[in-house]
Amino acid sequence: MGRASSSDQGRGDLEAMLKVLTSERMEKSKVDIGHYRPLMRAILEKKDLKSREDLLKKNPTAATAELDEFGNTIFHLIVQESVNKETIMLLEQLVSEASQETLEIQNVSGLTALDIAASAGNTKAVQLFLNKNKSLLAKEIVEETEILLPVHHAALWCRKETVEYLLSVMSTDDDQDLSGNPADYALLLKMLIESNLHGIALGLLKKYPELAYPDQNYLWNVIVNTLAGKYLAFASGKKLGFWQRLIYRYIPVKDRLQDNHVAPQPLQVGSALDRKLYIVMGNALCYLVPSIKHIHDQKLMHAHALAIVRDMISKVNWTYKEAVERLKEPVLTAARLGIHEFVDEVLKAYPNSVLFYDKNGRNIFLLAVLHRKEEVFRLIHDQVASLRDYNNYVRDNKEHNILHLAGKLVPSGQVPGAALQMQRELQWFKSVKSNFSTQANSCSVHKPIIQTNSCSKSAIVDQVTNSTDQTPNNFMCNFDEPADQASSNLRFCSSNSPQLDQV
């Protein structure tokens, strides 16, 4: 019999725990499951309002009692429904008759009805509960256990409208403000970023600037590493067509947090009247054309994500020791994924980041070459030109230099077909080689050999030998010839040629 997986073990532990908790809850609350079953069924099956009202009249204690062994009340169940006029009317009636203590009841998972309403995005129910009992916004911490607040549940499930409402209520109530416990809003910032609610996350960061400092944010490393891996949150990770790029470049974007418009750089708007007309036209297009609205929202998200990265990184006076501990992993991840905006912000905050290496001895520049990230390549080439001739900077742990890495075949979904991918690989190698011709000459690096096991499969390999006589001339690829002609030479390739490990 095979060994049980960790997930199976986790599920088994959860089931055992729930057996204990539900048994204890039934004994404590004297739950009569059969008595309330028709009412629960009517709620869950979304029967008409009159049927549910009739059942409530027959069971007057249902508004205050626990209906099942999990400790759920009628409020826990009803807020999970889709928001409609009838349900809200019933909920208003029930909330008006309920006591504050009833709304504070937590089920065996520690969730109040407000928590479930927040996670379901039922903002109207959230409003009704808070109008009745505002203390539901906070929870008592038992034995230092991490307790999620309603705003955390809304952020976790990406409920933007509910998060904004909860934060607005908390900002006007000093007793319920998150600043009482820094860990609460550090966790909230992390959840907002994970749920792609970057605009709200940036607003939270502006309101609580201490979140940008590693010594005051216990989740700083987690947050920055998360951002480094979210390539779609940045402009460099979004592949657009010609017309989409044009619209993206010129569409005006309003930053609601600062109440101003981020005007695109390429377009020079003259007078204040022209600028206002330009913004109005942009907003009208967003309203009338959904595809333009989508591009606008993408551009706004990219701006917010970049602003978060800038705030989190630029405010710290970095030392090498601290930068290695906190910046090394995210900047190398960003380099692999081609997020040049992230790499640029790290280099501005700490230029010596160019000296960070991964476990294979590859720095930002080598990773950019290996993974074909042109923008990162250009960025590093421009900023660290003085280092590019150092042997220890352009070689990894296996003594592979930049031409070895440029010659490796990297599977790409951007180029359809083996021949076109071959053309792209040749162009990439020539670009790297032309920038580092001095390095190529000093390493006795020969021109790459093109190898294939069949006519439909190709690879670029880099033959490094001590003598040019060891390289079979009939396998040499002339990089001075056009790329399409080089592609036709695939038929001369041999499967016996040496080849570096593919990435």
Q: Domain ranges in the chain?
A: 12-138+147-176, 233-400, 404-492
Q: What is the pTM of this model?
A: 0.75
274 band by pLDDT with thresholds 50, 70 and 90: low
What pLDDT score was predicted for residue 70? 85
What pLDDT score was predicted for residue 417? 58
Q: d(Cα 105, Cα 213) in Å, to the nearest integer?
A: 37
- Residue 496 predicted with pLDDT over 50: no
What pLDDT score was predicted for residue 448? 39
- Residue 320 predicted with pLDDT over 60: yes
End-to-end C-alpha distance for the chain, whole angstroms: 36
280 band by pLDDT with thresholds 50, 70 and 90: low
Average pLDDT over residues 220-232: 95
What pLDDT score was predicted for residue 22? 77
Q: d(Cα 173, Cα 180) in Å, to the nearest integer?
A: 12
What pLDDT score was predicted for residue 371? 85
DSSP classification of residue 62? G
Q: d(Cα 388, Cα 133) in Å, to the nearest integer?
A: 64
The tokens for 396 are 């990894």
What pLDDT score was predicted for residue 480? 38
- Residue 300 predicted with pLDDT over 70: yes
What pLDDT score was predicted for residue 16? 83
- Residue 350 predicted with pLDDT over 50: yes
Average pLDDT over residues 226-238: 91
What pLDDT score was predicted for residue 475? 29
For 195-222, b/e burial (b = at least 16 CB within 10 A) is bbbbbbbbbbbeebeebbebeebebbeb
Contact indicator for 292, 247 with CB cutoff of 8 Å: yes
Contact indicator for 197, 158 with CB cutoff of 8 Å: yes
- Residue 3 predicted with pLDDT over 60: no
- CATH for the stretch 12-138+147-176: 1.25.40.20
- Determine which of 2-16, 97-111, 313-327, 396-410 has the lowest per-residue pLDDT on average: 2-16
Q: pLDDT by residue (tens digit) across 355-373?
A: 899 998 888 988 988 888 8
Q: Return phi, psi of residue 445, to 5°.
A: -90, 125
- Amino acid letter, residue 126: V
What pLDDT score was predicted for residue 174? 57
> In terms of pLDDT, which residue wins out, 383 or 239?
239
How many CA atoms lie within 13 Å of 231's alpha carbon, on the beta-carbon side?
15
